[in-house]
Structure 1
Amino acid sequence: MLILFYKYFNSYLNFITYLPYRAILSLLTSFCINLYFGSYFIYYMKKIQNYQIIRTNGPKTHYLKKKTPTMGGLFIITSIIISTIMYCDLYNIYVWYVISILLGYGCIGFIDDYKKIKYKNSKGLSLISKYFLLSVFALSLIFIIQSNNKNIFYTELIIPFYKNKTFEINYIYIFLSYLAIVGTSNAVNLTDGLDGLAIMPVIFLTCGFLLISFFSENISSSSCLNVSYIKYSSELVILCSSIIGSGLGFLWFNSYPAKIFMGDVGSLSLGGCLGTIAILLHQELLLIIMGGIFVFETISVILQILSFKIRKKRIFKMSPIHHHYEIKGLPEPVIIVRFWIAALILLLISLISLKVR
């Protein structure tokens, strides 16, 4: 919006077109929105008794959190959209692709959270209904990208650590894009089980995509790094900045002991955003490395289910794996910080993979 405003007052607002300025302003704006309205939102949720529904088969210590408000993802989404609209070039199609999945998956998460609260159980939407809705939104977006932007959607897969080496996968790319969006969305949702556990890896992952989107629009930078040249992709820097700022603002209230949880409305929408950004930047495989914490959590659930179905034995005391460590007696803050450290290390490894010969 400020870019459009600049056209009429360009002599006074020349700095607005400078990408780093807009990125910083976007981050600070979304952060301040969450910081200011977060306490009011928490107060309102407590007033209407919109509390987190604790699953009956979860760790017993979580019953202490039954009076903690949920659906904090609502003000995460709001601050991201406000900040993005304020500082992004609204003619940029990349931005609208990500916002559409943010809103779509946010609606699905809202329905899921609402059903849990209404019926006072942790079931929410049925598994089939949830995956069906997530799949419809993801496939619709992939179809739109493929139909309207052939330069964005292509079938060559970039291999991390190997510059100028791609793998042709043809229409399997559609399935891979689907997995990136739906898989990341559910992985973030599974990880969101302890205070602040999911939001910090989301911030780290978004930082990585911010750097990649910044270098992708520059031909000389993209030729030196293992990234694709993508015209106009730098506007994703602004969107990533707003996600980072919003995440930090939410962490202010979500850090241990949490005053509010993001709920499915937050975890599904943020995960869907990250998956969409990954396919727009052609970094689907790098998403697996950078988001290794989410992959680790998802694999722990899959292994637990398979082991119980086949061997009638459990590998972990409880899945996702953060609950395994919790039941073993590790304090919740220790688990959270160690997962954050692992997420940061995975981000650094991913950034190293961009600079290869």
Structure 2
Amino acid sequence: MLILFNKYFNSHLSFISHISYRAILSLLTSFFISLLMGSYFIKYLQNLQKYQIIRQNGPKTHLLKKDTPTMGGVFIILSIFFSTILYCNLSNLYIWYVITILIGYGLIGLIDDYKKIKYKNTQGLELKWKYFWLSIVAFGLIYTIYSNNSNIIPTHLIVPFYAQNSFEINYLYIFLSYFIIVGASNAVNLTDGLDGLAIMPVVFTTCGFTLISFLSENINSSNYLHITYVKNSGELAILCTAIIGSGLGFLWFNTYPAKIFMGDVGSLSLGGCLGTIAILLHQELLLLIMGGIFVLETISVILQVVSFKFRKKRIFKMAPIHHHYEIKGILEPLIIIRFWIISFILLLISLISLQVC
């Protein structure tokens, strides 16, 4: 597309090829594609009567959502993909790494959602097979990154708020990359339990990565902020804004009361994208701060399982933790908005950490 811009636009419009303008266009394009596709997709699923399967042991208020369509992640993925293809420099390998996860994890999530709807239960894809395929895609991507671009991922880990800023972990970095990708995908999946709860933290986190993508490409900015210089990382900002625009378009339909849920096809793919972008920008630990809501939800599940297994007692009334607050009687919109506020505060703390290091 950049070639088309250079060939067909005159000098007065050449500014469009600049990263910042392409990023804005990418956001707007994915937003409107998401809006347009969302309307048709919801009607299509309603006609097919493809609705979310509600777990019987969940909060009773969720039974009212049994006629809400799911798999909204399909039009999230398509809007991100089309916007990325339109505005990104497709010779940039970073773009294809993220697209691989977006589509690969999206397909796994789609199969999971389809099996839930077909067999009318919440099990979907067997857990062992789900993690098997998530792992295969993650390791395949990590291997490709190391094989084709051994200089993309250094063996040092950037530590936020740490004066020395980094330390060597050598080949443990490969396993860290795996856990970041798979862990982020499942963390977003666990968070996606209330209307709009997961998508705004995804948007906030991606906003942070958009800024870091710009800064990482500039050697002066990266040196000043003590972040790793990543050549050509600016193109990731365009993909990030595509995610932001698509997420906001999806929120139009997913905000309380939701007209559609993203399903595993959306949560797994978006989480995988966040993990991959964090790895490419060398901000793995910063993702844990920016995506603190996802970390909180995941830890609540782990603590609940461990406590019940060894103590036969539950720490929370129900996990993930957003269900705990639901059962305590806090209204769903209040939980959602408060989690959004926390996510935004964590984004600001993350950005502050860049200058503290």
Please indicate, yes or no, whether the TM-score normalized by the shorter chain is above 0.5.
yes
Deviation at 1:199, TM superposition (A): 0.1
Give the equivalent residue in structure 2 for 1:58.
58
Decide whether the 8 Å contact of 1:217 with 1:230 is kept in 2.
yes
Deviation at 1:128, TM superposition (A): 0.5
Give the equivalent residue in structure 2 for 1:284.
284
Distance 1:94 1:291 in 2: 21
Equivalent residues in 2 for 1:67-106, closer than 5 Å: 67-106=67-106
Q: Deviations over 1:103-135 (max 9, x none)?
A: 000000000000000000000011101000000
Q: Equivalent pairs: percent with the same residue?
A: 72
Amino acid at match of 1:136: I
Give the equivalent residue in structure 1 for 2:315.
315
Give the equivalent residue in structure 2 for 1:22.
22
Q: Identify which range, 122-131 or 4-13, moves more after superposition.
A: 4-13
Decide whether the 8 Å contact of 1:4 with 1:89 is kept in 2.
no
Deviation at 1:279, TM superposition (A): 0.2
Q: Secondary structure at the match of 2:7?
A: coil
Amino acid at match of 2:300: S
Decide whether the 8 Å contact of 1:160 with 1:226 is kept in 2.
no
Q: Secondary structure at the match of 1:157?
A: strand
Give the equivalent residue in structure 2 for 1:6.
5
Give the equivalent residue in structure 2 for 1:222.
222
Decide whether the 8 Å contact of 2:101 with 2:269 is kept in 1.
yes
Distance 1:57 1:19 in 2: 48
Deviation at 1:356, TM superposition (A): 2.4
Distance 2:9 2:62 in 1: 54
Distance 1:165 1:270 in 2: 28
Matched, 1:123 2:123: yes
Distance 2:164 2:85 in 1: 35
Amino acid at match of 2:3: L
TM-score by length of 1: 0.98
Distance 2:163 2:92 in 1: 28
Gaps of 5+ in 2: none
Amino acid at match of 1:187: A
Amino acid at match of 2:21: Y
Give the equivalent residue in structure 1 for 2:155.
155
Distance 1:228 1:314 in 2: 42
Q: Which aligned segments of 4 or more residues in structure 1 are displaced greater than 4 angstroms? A: none
Q: Secondary structure at the match of 2:316?
A: coil
Give the equivalent residue in structure 1 for 2:136.
136
Give the equivalent residue in structure 1 for 2:294.
294
Give the equivalent residue in structure 2 for 1:347.
347
Deviation at 1:222, TM superposition (A): 0.3
Equivalent residues in 2 for 1:41-52, closer than 5 Å: 41-52=41-52
Decide whether the 8 Å contact of 1:196 with 1:251 is kept in 2.
yes
Decide whether the 8 Å contact of 2:6 with 2:14 is kept in 1.
no
Distance 1:52 1:208 in 2: 31
Gaps of 5+ in 1: none
Deviation at 1:18, TM superposition (A): 1.3
Q: Secondary structure at the match of 1:8?
A: helix
Distance 2:17 2:223 in 1: 24
Give the equivalent residue in structure 2 for 1:330.
330
Distance 2:61 2:266 in 1: 23
Decide whether the 8 Å contact of 2:165 with 2:226 is kept in 1.
no
Q: Secondary structure at the match of 2:256?
A: coil
| RMSD (Å), alpha carbons | 0.9
Distance 2:70 2:125 in 1: 16
Decide whether the 8 Å contact of 1:226 with 1:353 is kept in 2.
no
Distance 2:312 2:58 in 1: 19
Deviation at 1:167, TM superposition (A): 1.0
Distance 2:152 2:32 in 1: 33
Deviation at 1:163, TM superposition (A): 5.2
Distance 1:37 1:144 in 2: 33
Give the equivalent residue in structure 2 for 1:246.
246
Deviation at 1:165, TM superposition (A): 2.6
Distance 2:314 2:66 in 1: 27
Q: Secondary structure at the match of 1:140?
A: helix
Deviation at 1:151, TM superposition (A): 1.6
Decide whether the 8 Å contact of 1:163 with 1:226 is kept in 2.
no
Distance 2:138 2:180 in 1: 9
TM-score by length of 2: 0.98
Give the number of aligned pairs.
356
Q: Deviations over 1:27-86 (max 9, x none)?
A: 000001111221111000100011000011111110000000000000000000000110
